[in-house]
Structure 1
């Protein structure tokens, strides 16, 4: 008989999937038995440019990844609602996400959510020119298309 599975949450925008996203999600998945990914809703993205792809499309793309147990759209008003529902053992932040680990841990504790907050490592490019950022991918597309 097995115990309760270890549940991990990762979260982000995941606008254009790239190897950096795969690194982040693989590292998060390695911490537990289930990986739930919360996809930020377009209307809640305020720290960078809004995503290009629709919310559901971004969720469906992440949900299709082998290491992901289930992808969820974030709550429109309270980012902690899906976290309370999923009740994770760990929340893993991306290496370059703007969130403050201590502030997240304090907010979780204030809401009675008992889980550890970790930050994923950065992924070094595997080869020269590998793009590990949605913004860099968009810049590259714009630059190459303007040359045509």
Structure 2
């Protein structure tokens, strides 16, 4: 009997890895057997400032995390291509990601991709000064190191 491998996709920019990213990826991994992470290409990031770090470096850092089975860069033109290739059971969005869940669900349906969309929970800081946002980390670096 063939056991079904439950595949989960998480995605993001992952410019500067921080505890919020780890929380998101661990929570996503708990839903399945394999966690695939799609790292956004710099040229595709239009909803916020583009990442500081190169695409490959960000992908390699995410891929090095034990909880991640495979990290790959997103497709240059069509963000749904890797999703079609992976054929996930779940796509987990970060708690504060800008994505329109209804638009994603509609496009998944249009393409015949049968998977469930979930939204990860937020992680609160656990001690004074803990930063859970790449923007906040970059701001602190500029503030302290200018």
Do Structure 1 and Structure 2 share a fold, with TM-score over 0.5? yes
The DSSP-based 3-state class of the residue aligned with 1:10 is strand
The DSSP-based 3-state class of the residue aligned with 2:21 is helix
List alignment gaps of at least 5 residues for structure 2. none
RMSD of aligned residue pairs (Cα, Å): 0.8
List alignment gaps of at least 5 residues for structure 1. none
Q: How much does 1:100 deviate?
A: 1.3
Q: How much does 1:138 deviate?
A: 0.3
Q: Provide, for residues 62-115 of structure 1, a one-character-per-residue CA deviation record: whole Å limited to 9, x for no partner.
A: 000000000010000000000000000000000000001121111101011000
> What residue number does 2:12 align with?
12
Count of residues in Structure 1 that have an aligned counterpart in Structure 2: 146
Taking the aligned partners of 2:109 and 2:34, their CA distance within structure 1 comes to 22
Q: How does 1:105-116 map to 2 (within 5 A)?
A: 105-116=105-116
> What residue number does 2:123 align with?
123
Runs of 4+ in 1 over 2 A off after TM superposition: none
TM-score, normalised to structure 1, is: 0.97
